[in-house]
Amino acid sequence: MENVGIEQFYDMFPEFDFAEEEERLMKEEMNGMLEKMGKERLKPFFSKEEFDENYELILKNKYPFEKALDLLKHVGFENTIKTTGHSIFTDTSLKKRFEKMLIDENEKTEGKDEKLLIDLCECYLLWYAAYRHINEDVLRICEPCLLKNALMKNKREETQKEVEISLLALNKIPVFERLDKELYLKEVKEIIEYHQVHRNLTRLAYQSAWQFLMIRVAYDNDLERVIVRELHCAREVARELEELARCVDWKRKEEEKREKESREAKILNRWLLTMMYFLEHCRLWNEEIVELFNSIVQIFQVAKDDRRDISRKCIDCFRNAEYNRTIEMDILLKCGVIDIIFGETVKCKAEDLQIKCNLNFFKDLCDRLKEKVEEGNGVSRQKDTKRKIYEKEEEEGFEDFVISLHVILPRCTLRRQLHNRICFSDYVVYL
């Protein structure tokens, strides 16, 4: 499979028009092969030349369009799960054909092929580069079409897979695109609420439904109330993270990690990336945030030795939440977040970029404590919080660590990263 070309890949699945059971088995085989292909092996799989070659084969009737569409949709799905970026498709003749077919099929008054329309929408979005503007006519077709498909509520495996693909494709629509908020908020909210009662979605589909709303918070503050208070975001994400953490093999060997990542680990990574963004932008929280932070702390603890990619995302979640300044410092203390940042900071090497980020965390924490005292708000409570943080400092030897940085700083690159303007006393928590 290392150097397989598009025609050879087609040849492995020569018949997509067999009986339903045979087709299902062949698709399962194809999914298995795609799953075994790592990110780096999938990334160069389709080039602009291969897309255009595919387009020529279709035009000359040498290859059925439905067959090409099915294959491209499956590969696009796996690419999206592996977060493999593809910008090539947006510059191809095939993309233009997809747009024309979408518009023509949607405009039919009779004999409209709903399944073809859904397949076209999914394939088009799964391959589309997320940073490019989408044709407005196509966007107006894709949004209602895929939302309607994602609203299917039975628990059949085939239905769950269809819903999963539709929700994943919807998440490829860039956040800067203007969508019909009245439509998507009503329907995504219904999808999430129905699953909370009936558990009809796959884990990936549920994560994708939440992500669709969460990544739009920075562009629409009104979404916060629905996400946090009506849909109970923190509680639901905490539960999902805990369930996924129980399914991940945290002790896998390095070569096994490179070869094939488990589906649960991929979904866990997607949740953490989404929460990094959401914690930075959401300013409306309730008491359920403690559940969420406890879950992320637990994931950090099991991931810190063998899965630094995941543990660092946990740290980024904490830092973004603190940077946002809407999470109470008492919560950071109670959930063990401050302990974790302390521990990670003193373990860093002097040239590690993480030191800068972690020191900024404590600098901002210091500023917040000082502001509270100057404002005269909750002085007694703030003193208690400061005392506990100071005790943590002493326990971890944090002040000695900062002083040691001052000694070694002239010999390391950290000086340039901090712009030569460090006042080290600022990194000792204000008392």
Query: Over the stretch 155-205, which tens digit does the pLDDT of each residue have?
Result: 899 999 999 999 999 999 999 898 999 999 999 999 999 999 999 999 999
Q: 118: closest CA among 162, 72, 159? A: 162
Cα-based distances in Å from 213 to 62, 153, 170, 179, 277: 42, 20, 11, 12, 12
Q: Is residue 163 part of a domain?
A: no
Q: Decide if 264 contacts 203 (C-beta within 8 A).
A: yes
Q: Which pLDDT score is estimated for 431?
A: 42
Is 211 a residue whose pLDDT tops 60?
yes
For the chain, percent of residues with pLDDT exceeding 70: 68
Q: Which pLDDT score is estimated for 164?
A: 97
The whole-angstrom separation of Cα 326 and Cα 319 is 12
Q: Is residue 77 part of a domain?
A: yes
Structural domain harbouring 87: 1-132
For the ranges 50-54, 310-314, 325-329, 341-345, the one whose mean pLDDT is highest = 310-314
Which one-letter DSSP state was computed for residue 249? -
The whole-angstrom separation of Cα 170 and Cα 103 is 18
Q: Is 4 exposed, middle or buried (0-12, 13-18, 19+ CB in 10 A)?
A: middle
Q: Is residue 109 part of a domain?
A: yes
Q: Decide if 369 contacts 382 (C-beta within 8 A).
A: yes
**Average pLDDT, integer, range 104-125:** 93
CA angle 426, 428, 429 (to 5 degrees): 100
Please identify, among 132, 148, 170, the residue that sits at the C-terminal boundary of a domain. Answer: 132
User: Could you tell me which residue, 183 or 31, shows the higher pLDDT?
Assistant: 183
Q: Which pLDDT score is estimated for 221?
A: 81
Residue 230's CB is within 10 A of a number of other CB atoms, namely 11
Please identify, among 114, 132, 150, the residue that sits at the C-terminal boundary of a domain. Answer: 132
In the chain, the number of structural domains is 2
Long-range contacts of 360-363 (CB under 8 A, 24+ apart): 360/319, 361/318, 361/319, 361/322, 361/323, 362/398, 362/427, 362/429, 363/426, 363/427
Residue entry with tokens 């897309």? 51
Q: Decide if 58 contacts 26 (C-beta within 8 A).
A: no
Which one-letter DSSP state was computed for residue 14? -
User: Could you tell me which residue, 369 or 80, shows the higher pLDDT?
Assistant: 80
The whole-angstrom separation of Cα 250 and Cα 299 is 10
Per residue in 347-358, pLDDT (tens digit) is 776 556 677 777
Q: Is residue 399 part of a domain?
A: yes
Q: Is 65 exposed, middle or buried (0-12, 13-18, 19+ CB in 10 A)?
A: middle
Q: Is residue 162 part of a domain?
A: no
Which one-letter DSSP state was computed for residue 177? S
Q: Which pLDDT score is estimated for 409?
A: 47
Cα-based distances in Å from 383 to 147, 290, 335, 396, 430: 51, 22, 19, 20, 10
The whole-angstrom separation of Cα 339 and Cα 376 is 27
Q: Which pLDDT score is estimated for 172?
A: 92
Residue 6's CB is within 10 A of a number of other CB atoms, namely 21
Give the pTM: 0.82
Tokens of 397: 């030897």
Q: Is residue 54 part of a domain?
A: yes
> Please, what is the end-to-end C-alpha distance for the chain in angstroms?
62
**Average pLDDT, integer, range 257-269:** 78
Confidence of residue 408 (pLDDT cuts 50, 70, 90): very low
Q: Is residue 302 part of a domain?
A: no
Q: Decide if 223 contacts 216 (C-beta within 8 A).
A: yes
Is 111 a residue whose pLDDT tops 60?
yes
Distance from the Cα of residue 111 to its chain's centroid: 38
Q: Is residue 62 part of a domain?
A: yes
Q: Which pLDDT score is estimated for 36?
A: 59
Q: Within 13 Å and on the Cβ side, how many CA atoms surround 406? A: 14
Tokens of 244: 């996924």
Q: Which pLDDT score is estimated for 21?
A: 59
Q: Which pLDDT score is estimated for 360?
A: 78
**Average pLDDT, integer, range 361-388:** 70
Q: Which pLDDT score is estimated for 139?
A: 94
Please identify, among 132, 154, 183, the residue that sits at the C-terminal boundary of a domain. Answer: 132
**Average pLDDT, integer, range 137-142:** 94
Rg (CA), the chain: 25
The torsion angles phi and psi of 36, rounded to 5 degrees, stand at -75, -20
Q: 397: closest CA among 333, 355, 347, 360? A: 347
The whole-angstrom separation of Cα 151 and Cα 195 is 10
